[in-house]
Amino acid sequence: MIKSPLQIARESYSPKLPAALKGSVKIVEGKKTESVADQADIEKLFPNTYGMPVLNFEEGDSTASSKAIGVGLILSGGQAPGGHNVISGIYDGLKKINPENKIFGFLGGPGGLVDNDYVELTDDVVDHYRNTGGFDIIGSGRTKLEEEAQFDKGLENCKALGIDALVIIGGDDSNTNACVLAEYYKQKDAGVQVIGCPKTIDGDLKNEMIETSFGFDTACKVYSELIGNIQRDANSAKKYWHFIKLMGRSASHIGLECALQTQPNVTIISEEVEAKNMSLDEIVDYIANIVAKRAANGDNFGTVLIPEGLVEFIPAMKKLISELNDLLAHHEAEVNVIETNKEKRDFVVNKLSEEVASVFKSLPNSFANQLMLDRDPHGNVQVSMIETEKLLIDMVKAKLKKMKKAGEYAGKFSAQGHFFGYEGRCAAPSNFDADYCYSLGYTASILIAEGKTGYMSSVRNLTASADQWIAGGVPVTMMMNMEKRHGHMKPVIQKALVRLDGAPFKALVAQRDDWATNTKYVYPGPIQYFGPSEVCDLPTKTLIEESK
């Protein structure tokens, strides 16, 4: 492996740990828990792992078994900065408990468990990846562990390798699958524990026990640097509007955090659009009016932040997409043999309800075609493939043309579209994520040693210094509710959306009118790895606002 000077320097960084994890650990159990919703349904589906208590770790005498065990690790879903440090934390924690413990990494994600494709992790392997971005130590994948045949094959492979526990490092869907797997193995008394770790740069795996998912901090800092660079260019050239789509299909946490870091002229928050029942035309009017106000001040430039999943939050579009998802799921074979986009549109229109068909027919053909693209593994529209930023540019341009004819606009509008996604997923983790991920992994090792299953690793109190962080475990069933997937109701971890009554959103609302007409850009610059703690170790502005 060829290493950059930064990577060489980062090898010497020792992630900080909560005080409770530095010596022997005592587990303190809380009260019995229940799911966030649909309690009767979730309890019926998870009789062996429902209602377990929240666990907090404190300094004290450990009751954990120190017998040698085998542990399998799985990276699941999209990459997020810090995954390698989760693995490093698990590895170091297990080796400290017993140097004879063996740690295996299943290659290419959950599919590696089923296919028995693995590598044993050793000092030589792990040490190369400490404090680095990416998931390339063992790779990731999007295979879903949903069928009993997969569970049984995975169990067979674990038994052959002497694996007593699995750690699934992933987002809400991956941890839902981990919970289903934990329940299945517990029901069969299979002797294999399953622990989850909260990963997703989108920030939507979040609740009272999971203050943030790992990777969110780093990704937002990367995106904010890029946004700041673009804003500085815009403020220099003074002739372009930049429409920037940001990752975040199901929630606008990235857009909100980046707005708080960079102070753009326009920030669209999907959850607000839905709450206000805004139409696509109303969003366009909102942006166009700000463009006109800035033009009146002589500022024919600006930045607009757009969440990736915006179209799914516009009520009329949400209803259309919901019907499309069901329609395409039930008529997949018929749609797949249709050759032209026009024929597909005609087929779809005839199957949709009258109200929704009217919305579909009103869309530009290119946009309608994008809504009919193949669905993701969950049966949902692939919003990252929908060029929302280009659609809004075209619609704002058309709106401004009408305003100019009516004498309401006298500026110039030239726009550039951007989509920031992959740029942030494998960045070298910030100090915060390096510390947080290592702590999550170390916590998982203790949950394993204590014989726990069906838990997610939890580290809280994240705006304090790392030694004051609170480590423990939260039952995955506590986070679950029932949702419609592929036309059927299934148990899943409830996604955390931007709260419109929350402090971070209120901070945006308090300042966005000022940012809209005045140029008050902030240029965050690159992630700082070396220097004073107040520069290098800061958490996100979202966490800071939420802790006030």
Catalytic, out of 92, 172, 202, 435? 202
pLDDT by residue, tens only, the chain of 548 residues: 788 999 899 989 999 999 999 999 999 999 999 999 999 999 999 999 999 999 999 998 876 777 999 999 999 999 999 999 999 999 999 999 999 999 999 999 999 999 999 999 999 999 999 999 999 999 999 998 889 999 999 999 999 999 999 999 999 999 999 999 999 999 999 999 999 999 999 999 999 999 999 999 999 999 999 999 999 999 999 999 999 999 988 899 999 999 999 999 999 999 999 999 999 999 999 999 999 999 999 999 999 999 999 988 999 888 998 888 888 888 888 888 898 999 999 999 999 999 999 988 888 888 888 888 877 666 677 766 788 999 999 999 999 999 999 999 999 999 999 999 999 999 999 999 999 999 999 999 999 999 999 999 999 999 999 999 999 999 999 999 999 877 789 999 999 999 999 999 999 999 999 999 999 999 999 999 999 998 999 999 999 999 98
The answer to whether residues 347 and 338 touch, using CB atoms and an 8 Å cutoff, is: yes
Q: What is the 3-state secondary structure (H, E, C) of 484-534?
A: EECCEEEEEECCCCCCCCCHHHHHHHHHHHHHHHCCCCCCCCCCCCCCCHH
Task: Write down the residue that tokens 């986070």 correspond to.
Answer: 479
CATH topology of domain 63-215+429-469: Rossmann fold (3.40.50)
Closest C-alpha to 329, from 377, 386, 385, 383: 377
The answer to whether residue 202 is catalytic is yes
Task: Write down the residue that tokens 């980046």 correspond to.
Answer: 258
Domain boundaries, the chain: 63-215+429-469, 217-308+387-424+501-547, 316-380
Which CATH code for domain 217-308+387-424+501-547?
3.40.50.460
CATH topology match: 217-308+387-424+501-547 vs 316-380: no
Closest C-alpha to 368, from 416, 313, 320: 320
Which CATH code for domain 316-380?
1.10.10.480
Residues of the chain by 3-state class (helix, strand, coil), percent to 5: 45, 15, 35
Stated pTM of the model:
0.93
E strand or H helix at 389, and its extent? helix 388-405
